[in-house]
Amino acid sequence: MEAVLFFGAALGALGGAVGVVALRDPFYGVLALIVHLFSLAVLFLLLASAFVAAAQVVVYAGAVMVLYVFVVAYVGGDQESAWEPIPGQRLLAPLLGAALFVELSIAVLGSSLSALGSHGPHVGPGFGDPAAIGLLLLEKFLLPFEASSILLLLAAVGAVVLAARRREEEGSA
Amino acid sequence: MNVEWYVVLSSLLFAVGAMGILIRRSPIVILLCLELMLNAGNLALVAFSRMVGNQEGQVFALIVMVVAACEVVVGLGLIVAIFRRRLPLDVDELRELRG
């Protein structure tokens, strides 16, 4: 049962990723990324991390993707020209990607981590649930937690400053 | 399923995302491919946290999610600003920093 779920979610994640890369219209790319994110949430659940899976669905597939959809709708879809600036780019890039995959796999599987071939230790039902993660965030990782809140505030202010309509632009446009 | 399956899947997803950044030229799609790479890193973090039976890797994955959200917000703000100035949304043509 676990294997079926794993391979189904892995296929979904991989299909979504390939869809993001291959689909020409950015709008379909965003939809493929949503499929990818839901599949990843299933994988997180299989890895006994319920809170990360929930955050993945709510924050990523919910909020961030809505932002993408709005911007794609605002900017407009298919604008990528067929013109190819570097000769052979479309042939070379998959080769380099495959090389990267082989390299990463060798690096990880050859790392002599003995627990890599196991399921991991047995964990209780409380592993990775919101209470445990919240306790960690508010006790051991309080400083990173607060720093990330400041980072979010900075990003929101920065986005408003970047995307705001300026007076002189309105005058000329 | 053994942890190595998850790790190999995460490196495969990372490679697909990197390949997308090499191929595509629209900045929106490049941001989407960045998301793919960040999520592959998240999957590896959560898999290793399961491997050692420690929840701290999951906290790390949550912080990565926060950073990814910030990056998306600023990146999309830049794209909207570029679009407002009627510049082409193509990373090969946007090669000057001059505004």
Overall average pLDDT of the B39-50 stretch: 92
Average of per-residue pLDDT values in chain A: 85
Average pLDDT, integer, range A48-70: 90
pLDDT tops 50 at residue B95: yes
pLDDT digits (tens, 9 = 90+) for A19-49: 998 888 888 999 999 999 999 999 999 988 8
Phi and psi, residue A161, nearest 5°: -65, -40
More confident residue, A137 or A78: A137
pLDDT of residue B70: 92
Residue B18 or residue A128, greater confidence? B18
Give residue B23's pLDDT: 86
Q: What is the mean pLDDT of residues B32-49?
A: 93
Q: What is the pLDDT of residue B99?
A: 52
Q: Are A24 and A1 in contact (CB under 8 A)?
A: no
CA-based nearest distance B86→chain A, Å: 10
Q: What is the pLDDT of residue A89?
A: 76
Any B CB within 8 A of A13 CB: yes
pTM for this prediction: 0.88
A148 touches chain B (CB under 8 A): yes
- Residue B68: its chain A contacts at CB < 8 A? 60, 64
Task: Work out the minimum CA distance from A140 to partner chain B, whole angstroms.
Answer: 9
Question: With contacts defined as CB-CB under 8 Å, which chain B residues touch A123?
Answer: 50, 53
Work out the angle at residue A79's Cα, subtended by the Cα atoms of residues A16 and B98, and round it to the nearest 5 degrees.
110
How close A56 comes to chain B (CA, Å)?
8
For residue A12, give every residue at least 6 positions away whose Cβ sits within 8 Å of its Cβ, in sequence order, or none: A35, A36, A38, A39, A42
Interface touch B16/A97, C-beta < 8 Å: yes
Tokens of A43: 């994988």
Q: Is B61 on the interface with A (CB under 8 A)?
A: yes
* Residues of chain B with C-beta less than 8 angstroms from the C-beta of A54: none
CB contacts of B59 in chain A (<8 Å) are: 133, 136-137, 141, 144
DSSP secondary structure letters along chain B: --HHHHHHHHHHHHHHHHHHHHH---HHHHHHHHHHHHHHHHHHHHHHHHHHT-THHHHHHHHHHHHHHHHHHHHHHHHHHHHHTT--S-TTT------
Contacts of B66 in chain A (CB under 8 A): 148, 151-152
